[in-house]
């Protein structure tokens, strides 16, 4: 089936810059950024996808502006984000696709979804299925997060991965058929199982509602889990919470012809970091 989503137009950078700089001093700019594929490349070793010094200077400049509410909203575990981008003061972080949040200026993580409670037994079944299938695929591994389980297969044989994943999905469908509170999501070379209602869109909606008088809102991401953020921005636009001229959803890596519900796209990570640098007033090295 063809992807019904459009191919977004190329980002109008002068219009974005004007929208950013024309925000009244009494209004807030809400900036929500994915990490992998948006600020840093997808790599075989996830621990090596570190932010560059130039990127950190840009993020620090954005976070230092009191009119800005800068958030990193990622599927990564909190400890990784905390020791990379979390070293910047006044930056908000949401990890595990919204499973946990750390407010700007705080060191405390607040959880939204855990393995315990009435779903604990079902989580054990999910873990058993995923552990069974990961042993069948060389190069694949499981990431045990606090609010989800992730099956990663970037460095595995993609031909064999297609077979293993189809069979794993079938097993998961069987055990989750009557459990709508747990969902299976596809990412970039990952399959993630997490509680329903925990996604980047829910976090984006919370932030839009929290910050009063948002005069500029930007969300950027590169894959399926970021579409929830884009949809949340669109809903806020339709509901009149944000004006059309102040709403910016940006699909990174759109040069490859992938589809998205974002309102614009840039060609890759370096292009997007350049865009952020323009907004922050930070020049290249």
CATH numbers and ranges of domains, the chain: 13-112+199-280 (3.40.50.1000), 117-195 (3.30.70.1020)
Predicted local distance difference test score (pLDDT) of residue 148: 82
Helix, strand, coil in percent for the chain, rounding step 5 = 40, 20, 35
Q: How far apart are CA 98 and CA 183, in angstroms?
A: 14
DSSP β-bridge partners for residue 216: 29
Q: Which of 281, 226, 229, 250 is nearest to 12 (CA)?
A: 250
Name the region of 161 (left: φ>0; alpha: ψ -120 to 50; beta: rest): alpha
Q: How far apart are CA 3 and CA 151, in angstroms?
A: 24
Q: How far apart are CA 158 and CA 80, in angstroms?
A: 27
Q: What is the pTM of this model?
A: 0.82
* Eight-class DSSP state of 219: E
Q: How far apart are CA 129 and CA 17, in angstroms?
A: 48
Neighbours of 248 (CB within 10 A): 23
Q: How far apart are CA 183 and CA 145, in angstroms?
A: 15
Query: Which of the residues are catalytic?
Result: 34
pLDDT in tens, the chain (285 residues): 456 667 889 999 999 999 999 999 999 999 999 999 999 998 888 889 999 999 999 999 999 999 999 999 998 999 999 999 999 999 999 998 888 999 999 999 988 655 555 567 888 899 999 999 999 999 999 988 877 889 999 889 999 999 999 999 999 999 998 888 888 988 878 898 988 878 899 999 999 999 978 999 999 999 888 999 999 999 999 899 999 999 999 999 865 557 789 999 999 999 999 999 999 999 875
The torsion angle over the Cα atoms of residues 183, 188, 189 and 192, rounded to 10 degrees, is: -20
Structure tokens at 245: 């001229």
Strand order in the sheet with 264-266: 109-111, 100-102, 91-95, 68-73, 28-33, 214-221, 247-252, 264-266
Q: How far is CA 264 from CA 27, 168, 245, 253, 281, in A?
A: 23, 35, 13, 11, 22
Predicted local distance difference test score (pLDDT) of residue 2: 53
Predicted local distance difference test score (pLDDT) of residue 272: 97
């Amino acid at each position: 089936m063809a992807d019904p989503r459009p191919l977004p137009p190329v980002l109008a950078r002068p219009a974005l810059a004007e929208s950013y700089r024309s925000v009244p001093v009494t209004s807030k700019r809400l900036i929500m950024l994915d990490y992998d594929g948006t600020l840093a490349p997808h790599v075989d070793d996830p621990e090596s996808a570190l932010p560059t010094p130039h990127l950190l200077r840009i993020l620090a400049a954005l976070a230092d502006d009191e009119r800005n509410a800068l958030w990193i909203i990622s599927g990564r575990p909190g400890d990784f984000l905390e020791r990379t981008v979390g070293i910047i003061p006044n930056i908000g972080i949401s990890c595990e696709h919204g499973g946990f949040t750390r407010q700007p200026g705080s060191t405390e993580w607040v959880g939204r979804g855990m393995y315990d409670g009435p779903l604990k037994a079902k989580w054990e079944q999910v873990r058993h299925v995923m552990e069974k299938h990961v042993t069948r695929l060389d190069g694949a591994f499981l990431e045990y997060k606090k609010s989800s389980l992730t099956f990663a297969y970037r460095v595995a044989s993609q031909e064999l991965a297609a077979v293993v994943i189809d069979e794993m999905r079938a097993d998961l469908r069987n055990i989750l058929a009557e459990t709508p509170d747990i969902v299976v999501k596809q990412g970039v070379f990952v399959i993630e199982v997490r509680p329903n209602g925990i996604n980047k869109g829910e976090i984006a909606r919370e932030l839009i509602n929290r910050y009063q008088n948002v005069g500029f809102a930007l969300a950027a991401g590169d894959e399926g889990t970021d579409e929830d953020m884009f949809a949340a921005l669109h809903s806020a636009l339709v509901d009149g919470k944000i004006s059309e001229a102040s709403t910016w959803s940006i699909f990174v890596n759109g040069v490859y012809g992938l589809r998205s519900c974002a309102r614009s796209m840039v060609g890759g990570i370096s292009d997007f970091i350049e865009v952020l640098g323009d907004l922050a007033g930070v020049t290249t090295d």
